[in-house]
């Protein structure tokens, strides 16, 4: 599994679910809006009103997941009566309902709907259609979130057919067919497949993913040039693949190319610049190149505003050694630690405040002393940040 070590990397994947919601709502609106006015007059406006309310709440920053779920359910039930059980619009509305269940944490119900949607697209449009492709992405997204938040596996969601990450393998498998059917969108599908595979794992097809990633970089350079978000994205994910293969020199080369291209354009909005600096901290630190890691710690500090009200997430961290006595006794624990972040991004003056058991204290302090952070930066200069606190959890079942 390729882990995303930093908040910068996590943010690059956060747009997926929002994109899927917008896509489903837009398509449903397209089909619903294509009807004649006479059909709207003949049918009571209950469905139209419910769907309009759903869209309004979906776009509201104050809407609760429960409210959106209630309106998505109402829209789906009324839409199904209006259009029929097997109509495409009914499945688009069902897709919106599945998204609402996912956001509300109802993972089993979301899984049931997503699986029905996938089967419908496979039977009606084929597994080389973009609808099937995006429905498969929905399932992959669900599996990742359900595992992360509730520890649920595919079998727990009645999705045993996708055990052992077979959903991602399936996505990799159908991508060439999708590209052949829609060559004008080749870069879009190739980029999404690479991003999905890398952010979940390389699974059993690493060579195919690398070929897709290398092709994506080549095409992006040809179409958009070096200084583009598309090329930066291609280089970033290709570097993750090289790292997975142990080709750290090649991985570093790709990331350095990203940061060099955008070094003279600090106002350019490109999240991959920040993520590349953060990833270089990890790679250089693991290679023992601490001074080079420091350069990129400071670069992140300059690019990312310091927030005194938020816990500082390390750019590089190692897990503390589990105390043998506690491991033997099958005991979990925790340690609350206070520390400073030096100008070079190292944690210093590490002190234990309190703990569940003294056995956990030394391992926690030693581990934090090896972490790297983005230092606090004022007017472009790194300064010491004092008195930060963190709680380290020791859990046997997480090992």
- Give Cα separations from 387 to 76, 311, 341, 373 (angstroms): 52, 11, 9, 14
DSSP letters of 235-251? Answer: HHHHHHHHHHTT-HHHH
Lowest mean pLDDT among 37-41, 108-112, 294-298, 320-324: 37-41
Which pLDDT tens digit goes with each residue over 117-145?
999 999 999 998 999 999 999 999 999 99
Matching fold, domains 7-301 and 324-398? no
pLDDT for residue 36 is more than 70: no
State the fold for domain 7-301.
1.25.40
pLDDT for residue 30 is more than 80: no
Can you tell me the distance from the alpha carbon of 345 to that of 343, in angstroms, rounded to the nearest whole number?
6
| pLDDT at site 1 | 31
| pLDDT at site 231 | 93
Report the percent of the chain where pLDDT is more than 70: 85
Architecture of domain 324-398 in this structure: 2-Layer Sandwich (3.30)
| Sequence spans of domains, the chain | 7-301, 324-398
| pLDDT at site 205 | 66
| pLDDT at site 156 | 94
Name which residue leads in pLDDT, 378 or 310. 378
pLDDT for residue 325 is more than 80: yes
User: What's the start-to-end Cα distance of the chain, in Å?
Assistant: 15
| pLDDT at site 61 | 85
* Segment 10-32 mean pLDDT: 49
If 0-12 CB within 10 Å is exposed, 13-18 middle and 19+ buried, where does residue 253 land? Answer: middle
Mean pLDDT of the chain: 86
The dihedral through the CA atoms of 102, 107, 112, 114 has a sign that is positive
| pLDDT at site 29 | 57
| pLDDT at site 204 | 61
**279 close to 239: Cβ distance less than 8 angstroms:** yes
pLDDT for residue 45 is more than 60: no
| pLDDT at site 308 | 84
- Give Cα separations from 18 to 103, 138, 349 (angstroms): 11, 11, 42
Predicted TM-score of the model (pTM): 0.80
pLDDT for residue 66 is more than 50: yes
Q: Which two tokens stand for residue 154?
A: 């595919």
pLDDT for residue 303 is more than 90: no
| pLDDT at site 162 | 87
pLDDT for residue 39 is more than 50: no
pLDDT band at 37 (very low <50, low <70, confident <90, very high): very low
């Amino acid at each position: 599994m390729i882990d995303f070590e930093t908040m910068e990397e996590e943010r690059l994947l956060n747009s997926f679910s929002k994109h899927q919601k917008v896509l489903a709502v837009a398509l449903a609106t397209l089909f619903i809006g294509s009807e004649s006015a006479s059909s709207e007059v003949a049918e009571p406006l209950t469905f139209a009103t419910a769907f309009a309310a759903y869209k309004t709440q979906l776009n509201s920053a104050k809407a609760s997941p429960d409210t959106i779920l209630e309106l998505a359910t109402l829209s789906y039930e009324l839409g199904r009566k209006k259009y029929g059980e097997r109509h495409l619009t009914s499945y688009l509305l069902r897709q919106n309902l599945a998204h609402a269940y996912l956001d509300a944490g109802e993972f089993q119900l979301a899984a049931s709907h997503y699986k029905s949607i996938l089967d419908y697209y496979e039977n009606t449009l084929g597994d080389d259609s973009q609808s099937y492709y995006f429905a498969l992405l929905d399932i992959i997204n669900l599996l990742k979130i359900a595992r992360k938040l509730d520890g649920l596996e595919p079998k727990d969601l009645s999705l045993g057919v996708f055990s052992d990450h077979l959903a991602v393998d399936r996505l990799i498998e159908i991508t060439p067919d999708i590209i052949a059917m829609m060559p004008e969108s080749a870069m879009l599908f190739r980029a999404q497949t690479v991003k999905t595979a890398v952010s979940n794992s390389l699974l059993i097809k690493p060579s195919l993913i690398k070929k897709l990633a290398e092709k994506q970089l080549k095409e992006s350079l040809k179409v958009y040039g070096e200084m583009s978000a598309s090329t930066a994205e291609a280089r970033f994910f290709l570097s993750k693949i090289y790292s997975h293969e142990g080709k750290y020199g090649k991985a570093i080369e790709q990331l350095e190319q990203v940061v060099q291209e955008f070094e003279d354009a600090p106002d350019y909005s490109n999240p991959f610049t920040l993520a590349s600096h953060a990833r270089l901290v990890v790679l250089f630190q693991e290679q023992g190149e601490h001074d080079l890691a420091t350069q990129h710690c400071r670069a992140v500090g300059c690019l990312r505003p310091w927030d005194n009200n938020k816990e500082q997430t390390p750019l590089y961290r190692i897990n503390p050694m589990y105390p043998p006595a506690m491991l033997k006794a099958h005991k979990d624990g925790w340690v609350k630690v206070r520390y400073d972040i030096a100008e070079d991004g190292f944690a210093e003056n590490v002190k234990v405040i309190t703990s569940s058991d003294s056995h956990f204290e030394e391992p926690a302090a030693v581990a934090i002393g090896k972490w790297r952070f983005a230092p606090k930066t004022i007017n472009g200069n790194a300064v010491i940040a004092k008195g930060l606190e963190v709680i380290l959890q020791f859990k046997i079942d997480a090992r």
